[in-house]
């Protein structure tokens, strides 16, 4: 089970918007969705799973997951991720926010810096749904 570290005043979300689609967190989807090859997916399950896959279908987000996991201690600050990605800090922060809201990374505030860790259980759960 993933534990999200939230800023004071932030409310956890059960879903996020990605390209105008509502996406439930990966944990919510994988808990209710049967494995893809086990039985036909209901239209709603297919839509939710497709939206969740869009979260990780972005090359920058895939690289972020990989870069974070490769860092010492398997965590990274945004300041460590902008140069390897070749993206601006606001763009990297946006992608991290999408990953955070999908439950694929955790965030911990340390002073003025935010550190992110991959939640491997969420990726494993998504893999299991794909069969």
Angle of helix 59-70 versus helix 43-57 axis, rounded to 10: 60
- The pTM score is 0.72
Whole-angstrom Cα distance, residue 29 to residue 14?
10
Whole-angstrom Cα distance, residue 82 to residue 49?
29
pLDDT score recorded for residue 12: 41
Whole-angstrom Cα distance, residue 97 to residue 50?
19
pLDDT score recorded for residue 16: 43
Each residue's pLDDT tens digit, 70-88: 999 999 999 999 999 999 9
Is the per-residue pLDDT at 98 higher than 60?
A: yes
Is the per-residue pLDDT at 110 higher than 70?
A: yes
Domains and CATH numbers, the chain: 25-30+42-130 (1.10.10.10)
């Amino acid at each position: 089970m993933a534990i999200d570290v939230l800023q004071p005043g932030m409310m956890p979300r059960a879903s996020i918007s990605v390209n105008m689609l509502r996406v439930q967190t990966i944990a919510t989807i994988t808990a209710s969705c049967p494995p893809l090859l086990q039985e036909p997916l209901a239209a709603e399950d297919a839509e939710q799973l497709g939206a969740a896959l869009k979260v990780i279908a972005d090359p920058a987000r895939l690289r972020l997951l990989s870069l974070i996991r490769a860092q010492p201690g398997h965590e990274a600050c945004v300041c460590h991720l902008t140069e390897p990605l070749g993206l601006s800090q606001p763009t990297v922060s946006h992608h991290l926010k999408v990953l955070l809201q999908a439950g694929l990374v955790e965030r911990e505030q340390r002073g003025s810096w935010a550190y992110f860790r991959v939640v491997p259980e969420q990726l494993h759960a998504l893999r299991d749904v794909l069969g």
